[in-house]
Structure 1
Amino acid sequence: MSVSTTNPSSSILVVDDEPGIASLCDRVLSREGYQVTALINPHAAIEHLQQTRTDLLLVDIRMPEVDGFDVISRAKIVQPDIAVLVMTGFGTVETAIRALRQGVDGLLLKPFEKGDELVQAVIQAINDNHRKRDAARVQALRPLFNVTETLFAETDQDKLLGLIADAIRDHLNCSNVAYYRVEGATVSAVAQVGKALPVEADQTAAGLIRRVADDRDPMIIHASGPGEAEAQSLLSTLGLGSVILIPIPRANMNSVLFAGRDSSGAQFRGADLELFFVLARQAVVAMENARLYADLRDTLRRVEESQQALLRAEKMAAAGRLTASIAHEVNNPLQSVQNCLHLAGREDLPAEKRKEYFELARTELDRLMKTMQRMLEFYRPGTVRVEHVDVLELLNHVISLTSQQLHQRNIQIKANLPESLPPIYAVSGQIQQIFINLILNAHDAMPSGGELEITARGLNGGVELTFSDNGPGIPEDRRNNIFEPFFSTKEGGTGLGLTVSYNIVTAHGGTLDLVDRDEPGACFRLFLPTGDKQ
């Protein structure tokens, strides 16, 4: 006798109204190791199928009360993946066509003379059924490649849950999807579309979700057919015919995906379970990807906040160092305005001369207002509006602002500047801070006086400026660290000036470098790109 290539523990239901045939099939197949149930009443067979999972239905076509095709139809409803082998003593073409239309896996003519013929037909039917299911799986898995790309492209966790729900509904042909989170004994519905298991109000529903999450095994439940009576009653109450629960184990919590078909729809099959399993694995990776992106965005936000804090700290430090210069910049125009108004008020002067003094006073007031506006832009938090910046005008303003402080230390400024430079688009207050930091660094490097040379020229795509002093310079072993935060070569320095300047320049797409040269002192080269209005 041939050796079976199927699982020897496969369960087989034999249905034939002839007791002799039913008994023969029972003996032959039981001898081969199959678990056989032989019935002569088709009604009893239908009831058996509703309560007991069966691998193969071996059924006679012609029976007096219910014919074999009716039994097959009922079997396919409660157990969609069951293999079917029909027996008939009337092998007509019509019978074969009808059997094929109902998804039958094999046809066996009675009477069969040898037991081998029956065994081989059973083996062939079970194997054909497996091949059909494998083909259905492959066909179902092909569209998942596009789904994978869609899910992985979305990094917003809330939107991703919506995409996952849509993918499950489309590929499993169901209208009910839910995502449950399990934390200890607590089960909560995070998102749902259509009907879902009421885990907050029903202990049976919550217990099913917890069991799937704890055991980490998927579960398929049908409202009719073999299964737990309590769970099936819950599905019937909700108007659901079939559901699948898939566990999603994660590092910090367990989750469960739910898919359900209404009672009017077909039951889920094994291929649906495997398809859902693959979708769930993709969902796990996509959700982890979205979580990592969320963590990255949060980290970048904190870094940006830290950078803004450094920027504000350095501005406040610069404010303290520029107090005298700021007072000088404000006091000089005020003195000029006072003098001009005094002279304009003298009645012994001609009207034309008095008008000239009024105009001078207005000019000085305009200069004072412009100075104060620049200072407000510099110190106002969060001023990051990109605008048209005249580099020469801004640089001359900073030189004027720092001139008093440089003069008090006997530092001469040698400004080799052209008549014009290409305009750039940048954040004016931030570029102003770079100039202040570089000039004050030179001031601190020359406590006994010296010379600061500033040059500027237009280059293709931007503007280049250099700030060169003749102080002691920066030691060779410290040059690689000068742009690191809190690194300073001078006593009492914050170590933030060059760091903030470097970050600002980088954010604008430019460069800030320490230039090697033969002369004593330090030389910083600054390149600012033209930029754009965006």
Structure 2
Amino acid sequence: MFSDLTPLKELETGRRRAERLAYFEMLASGIAHEIKNPLVAIKTFAHLLPRRHSDERFIEDFGRIATREIQRMERLLERLHTLSRPSDRLRQPLDLRVPVTEAVETMRAAFEEKNLVVTVVTPPTPCMIRGAHAELGQLFLNLLMNAHEATPPRGMLRVELAVTETHAIATVLDTGPGVPAELLDRVFEPFFTTRQRGSGLGLAICAAIAQTHDAKLKVANQPAGGALFTAEFPLAVAAPAPVSA
């Protein structure tokens, strides 16, 4: 006795086609999100240009940041071009202060346009970890974009980098509404967002980058209001313990 397996094969073909379509939809959404961040920085500077065209410092910053963000998009296209080949994920010693301060600089015009008070605190000595500069820059840019969107006009942001004996700890604190307690465990899930226009990929990308750097990324609400994101990276070389007098 033979059974006609054609309907089952058609169902399997349809399932695989649906999976491929879902994958490409996710990929397209991710590409759009990664391109949006540098475009926002460039667009903000361009919007302010007519009013500040005589400000030499502003023009210099515009040129430098626009060039850097265009290069960021070029790197994204290069990664997509080589998507079929596994990444070697080369991690080199770097000073974590550099990607943190670069991300703040990229967002500076957006912060000014919203009249946000931004405080940046970094240690006077290098915070050496092993990592990929571009990926860490994307992590901190996404965190700052999230804080910028969550904070109301004339609000405050605080970015701080500290070092313990074994770790470099970066924190981003905003004065927005915070995260509903029942959603705290979901903020790093891909495509999860509480915003109407959000793609839900920014914080998921942060979590993925943190994971590849053996870092712990956490979020909590502050008693006075606002969300606190903490990224804890192992130092490339453990800091020496303080010597007792």
Please give the TM-score of this superposition, normalised by the length of structure 2. 0.69
Are positions 1:409 and 2:128 aligned together?
no
2:226 to 515, 521, 528: 521
Shift of 1:406: 1.1
Are positions 1:462 and 2:157 aligned together?
no
Are positions 1:336 and 2:31 aligned together?
no
Q: 1:457 to 1:421 in 2, by over 3 A?
A: farther
Per-residue displacement from partner, 1:442-493 (whole Å, max 9, x unpaired)? 1111233300011111123331011011111111111111111111122211
Contact 1:422-1:463 at 8 Å conserved across structures: yes
Structure 2 gap segments, 5+ residues each: 1-23, 80-86, 238-245
Look up the equivalent residue of 2:129 and give its one-letter code. Answer: I
Q: Which residue of 2 aligns with 1:372?
A: 67
Are positions 1:323 and 2:42 aligned together?
yes
Inter-partner Cα distance in structure 1 for 2:199 and 2:235: 31
Look up the equivalent residue of 1:501 and give its one-letter code. Answer: C
Contact 2:42-2:65 at 8 Å conserved across structures: no
Structure 1 gap segments, 5+ residues each: 1-304, 340-363
Inter-partner Cα distance in structure 2 for 1:474 and 1:493: 15
1:314 to 30, 33, 54: 33
Look up the equivalent residue of 1:316 and give its one-letter code. Answer: I
Q: Which residue of 1 aligns with 2:96?
A: 391
Per-residue displacement from partner, 1:220-255 (whole Å, max 9, x unpaired)? xxxxxxxxxxxxxxxxxxxxxxxxxxxxxxxxxxxx
Contact 1:486-1:496 at 8 Å conserved across structures: yes
Inter-partner Cα distance in structure 2 for 1:379 and 1:322: 15
Q: 1:506 to 1:369 in 2, by over 3 A?
A: same
Look up the equivalent residue of 1:336 and give its one-letter code. Answer: E
Q: Which residue of 2 aligns with 1:400?
A: 105
Q: Which residue of 1 aligns with 2:19?
A: none
Contact 1:324-1:404 at 8 Å conserved across structures: no
Which structure would you say has the larger RCO, counting Cα contacts within 8 Å and 6 or more residues apart? Answer: 2
Q: Which residue of 2 aligns with 1:477?
A: 182
Contact 2:173-2:229 at 8 Å conserved across structures: yes
Q: Which residue of 1 aligns with 2:240?
A: none
Q: Which residue of 1 aligns with 2:142?
A: 437
Q: Percentage identity across aligned positions? A: 22
Per-residue displacement from partner, 1:412-457 (whole Å, max 9, x unpaired)? 1011222123222211111111111111111111233300011111
2:200 to 453, 470, 495: 495
Contact 1:378-1:432 at 8 Å conserved across structures: no
What secondary structure is seen at the aligned counterpart in 1 of 2:149? helix
Q: For residues 19-34 of structure 1, what are the structure 2 equivalents within 5 Å? A: none
Look up the equivalent residue of 1:406 and give its one-letter code. Answer: F
Contact 1:410-1:450 at 8 Å conserved across structures: yes
Contact 1:414-1:452 at 8 Å conserved across structures: yes
Shift of 1:318: 1.2
Q: 1:401 to 1:330 in 2, by over 3 A?
A: farther
Q: Which residue of 2 aligns with 1:486?
A: 191
Look up the equivalent residue of 2:118 and give its one-letter code. Answer: I
Q: 1:310 to 1:501 in 2, by over 3 A?
A: farther
Contact 1:430-1:504 at 8 Å conserved across structures: yes
Look up the equivalent residue of 2:170 and give its one-letter code. Answer: L
Please give the TM-score of this superposition, normalised by the length of structure 1. 0.34
Are positions 1:453 and 2:175 aligned together?
no
The answer to which of 313-322 and 514-523 deviates more is 313-322
What secondary structure is seen at the aligned counterpart in 2 of 1:380? helix
What secondary structure is seen at the aligned counterpart in 2 of 1:421? coil
Inter-partner Cα distance in structure 1 for 2:93 and 2:74: 19
Q: 1:370 to 1:320 in 2, by over 3 A?
A: closer
Look up the equivalent residue of 1:495 and give its one-letter code. Answer: G
Inter-partner Cα distance in structure 2 for 1:515 and 1:307: 28
Contact 1:378-1:429 at 8 Å conserved across structures: no
Per-residue displacement from partner, 1:246-290 (whole Å, max 9, x unpaired)? xxxxxxxxxxxxxxxxxxxxxxxxxxxxxxxxxxxxxxxxxxxxx
What secondary structure is seen at the aligned counterpart in 1 of 2:127? coil
Q: Which residue of 2 aligns with 1:252?
A: none
Inter-partner Cα distance in structure 1 for 2:47 and 2:106: 8
Computing the radius of gyration over CA atoms, which structure comes out larger, 1 or 2?
1
Count of aligned pairs: 203
Q: For residues 164-313 of structure 1, what are the structure 2 equivalents within 5 Å? A: 312-313=31-32
Per-residue displacement from partner, 1:66-87 (whole Å, max 9, x unpaired)? xxxxxxxxxxxxxxxxxxxxxx
Inter-partner Cα distance in structure 2 for 1:375 and 1:329: 18
Inter-partner Cα distance in structure 1 for 2:174 and 2:136: 20
Inter-partner Cα distance in structure 2 for 1:467 and 1:311: 23
Shift of 1:528: 2.1
Look up the equivalent residue of 2:40 and give its one-letter code. Answer: R
Inter-partner Cα distance in structure 1 for 2:180 and 2:235: 33
